C-alpha cells in the first residue's frame, strides 16, 4: 500500500520537545540525530519513515526556526550514513559524513519534493524486496551499471567524488547479500531521481520531473523490474556470451563479429547442400537449359537483325518476353490496329454542318 505523503504527527519524545532542532544539531552520531538510542536497530523501512517524519516537521517550508535548514541537512545526512552501512554491510559509522552543498538529494526541491522521493523509495523497497529474491545476479549487475551511470551524470554536473560511484576497493566484491545490494540500489535510485531525473530501471534521464514520475511510477515498478530481468537474460544467452568473450580475446569489435556470423548463416542457407564451399568460386551444376538458352538467343538475334527493321526487332523482342511465338513475316506491312477495328470511314460532310 502506498505511503501517505501528508505530514504526520511529530515523532519527538517528550524529552525532545523542548528544543528538538537544538538536539538534532548537537547530536554526534546518526542515531542521536534521528532521536534514537545509541546503536538502535531499526528496519530500513522504519528508519526511512522516521527520517521522513522528522524532515516534514523541521523543514524550512514548515518551520520558522532559522536553524531549520541545518537540521534538515543533519537528519538527511544521518539517514544517508546509516543507509551506507546497509549497502556495504560494514561497521556503523561514528560521525556524520561530510556533504557538498548542492550535490545531495536533500539540497534540491522543497518539503513536498523530498517527501515524494522518500515515499517512492519506501514503496520501491516493498516491491523489489519481493521481486529480487530469485534474481540476485540481475540486481548485482544493475547496481554496478547504476553506479557507472551515477558517476557519469555527477561528473557532467561537476559534482565531487561520491560514495555512490564505483569503488575500486569494492569492485571485486560480488559476494554481498541481496539485502545489501538492494540497499545500495535504493540509495542510488534516490540520488538519481532527485538530482538527475534518472530512472535506473529504465536507464533513461528525463527532461522534467513529471515525465519521470509518469514513466516510472510506483505502480509500474514490478513491470519495470521484470523487463530488466528479461533484458539481462537475453544479454547472458550462450551465443552472445561466447561472442563477447571471443571479441575480448581477439580485439574484434562485437558488432562486426556478430554481423559476420549472421552473414555466414545467411550465405549457408542460400546455397545447396552439395554446392557449399568454404572459399573460392561456387561450382555450378551443368544444365541443358544453361546451354540451350544462349544458343537460341544468339541465333534468334542474328535472324531478326537480318530480316527485320529496328522497330520490328523491338516488337519481336517484346513478344518473346511474354511468351508469344516468333513470326517470320514482315510486321511492317500489317494494317494499323485502328483501321482493323474501325475500317475505312468515308466522310459524308455532316461534320461540316456544325461549323
pLDDT (tens digit per residue) in 280-293? 444 444 444 444 44
* C-alpha neighbours within 13 Å on the C-beta side of residue 132: 28
Q: Give phi and psi for 198, each to the nearest 5.
A: -115, 135
| Inter-residue long-range contacts of 223-231, CB under 8 Å, 24+ positions, other chains counted | 224/199, 225/127, 225/128, 225/131, 225/132, 225/201, 226/131, 228/138, 228/142, 228/201, 229/135, 229/138
159-206 confidence digits (pLDDT tens): 888 889 997 544 444 556 888 999 999 999 999 999 999 999 999 999
pLDDT in the model for residue 195: 95
Q: Which of 141, 134, 118, 159 is nearest to 200 (CA)?
A: 141
Neighbours of 180 (CB within 10 A): 20
pLDDT in the model for residue 353: 58
> What are the residue ranges in the chain where pLDDT is below 50?
1, 4-10, 13-17, 91-97, 169-173, 240, 243, 247, 274-298, 300-302, 304-305, 307-311, 313-314, 316-318, 320-323, 328-331
pLDDT in the model for residue 300: 47
pLDDT in the model for residue 313: 44
pLDDT in the model for residue 280: 47
Amino acid at each position: 500500500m502506498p505511503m501517505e505523503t501528508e505530514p504526520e504527527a511529530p515523532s519527538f519524545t517528550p524529552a525532545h520537545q523542548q528544543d528538538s532542532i537544538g538536539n538534532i544539531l548537537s547530536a554526534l552520531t546518526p542515531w542521536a540525530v534521528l532521536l534514537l538510542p545509541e546503536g538502535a536497530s531499526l528496519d530500513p523501512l522504519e528508519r526511512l519513515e522516521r527520517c521522513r517524519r522528522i524532515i516534514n516537521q523541521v523543514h524550512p517550508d514548515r518551520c520558522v526556526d532559522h536553524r531549520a535548514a541545518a537540521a534538515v541537512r543533519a537528519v538527511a545526512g544521518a539517514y544517508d550514513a546509516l543507509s551506507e552501512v546497509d549497502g556495504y554491510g560494514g561497521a556503523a559509522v561514528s560521525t556524520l559524513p561530510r556533504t557538498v552543498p548542492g550535490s545531495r538529494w536533500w539540497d534540491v526541491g522543497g518539503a513536498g519534493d523530498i517527501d515524494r522521493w522518500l515515499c517512492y523509495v519506501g514503496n520501491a523497497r516493498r516491491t523489489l524486496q519481493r521481486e529480487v529474491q530469485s534474481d540476485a545476479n540481475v540486481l548485482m549487475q544493475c547496481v554496478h551499471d547504476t553506479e557507472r551511470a551515477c558517476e557519469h551524470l555527477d561528473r557532467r554536473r561537476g559534482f565531487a567524488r561520491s560514495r555512490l560511484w564505483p569503488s575500486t576497493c569494492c569492485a571485486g566484491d560480488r559476494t554481498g547479500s541481496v539485502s545489501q545490494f538492494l540497499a545500495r540500489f535504493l540509495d542510488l535510485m534516490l540520488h538519481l531521481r532527485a538530482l538527475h531525473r534518472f530512472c535506473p530501471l529504465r536507464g533513461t534521464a528525463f527532461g522534467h520531473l513529471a515525465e519521470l514520475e509518469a514513466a516510472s511510477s510506483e505502480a509500474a515498478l514490478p513491470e519495470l523490474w521484470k523487463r530488466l530481468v528479461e533484458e539481462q537474460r537475453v544479454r547472458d544467452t550462450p551465443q552472445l556470451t561466447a561472442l563477447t568473450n571471443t571479441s575480448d580475446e581477439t580485439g574484434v569489435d562485437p558488432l562486426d563479429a556478430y554481423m559476420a556470423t549472421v552473414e555466414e548463416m545467411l550465405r549457408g542457407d542460400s546455397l545447396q547442400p552439395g554446392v557449399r564451399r568454404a572459399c573460392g568460386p561456387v561450382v555450378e551444376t551443368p544444365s541443358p537449359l544453361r546451354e540451350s538458352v544462349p544458343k537460341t538467343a544468339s541465333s534468334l538475334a542474328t535472324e531478326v537483325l537480318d530480316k527485320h527493321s529496328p522497330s520490328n526487332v523491338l516488337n519481336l523482342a517484346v513478344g518473346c518476353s511474354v511468351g508469344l511465338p516468333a513470326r517470320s513475316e514482315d510486321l511492317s506491312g500489317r494494317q494499323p490496329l485502328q483501321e482493323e477495328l474501325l475500317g475505312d470511314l468515308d466522310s459524308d460532310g455532316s461534320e461540316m454542318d456544325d461549323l
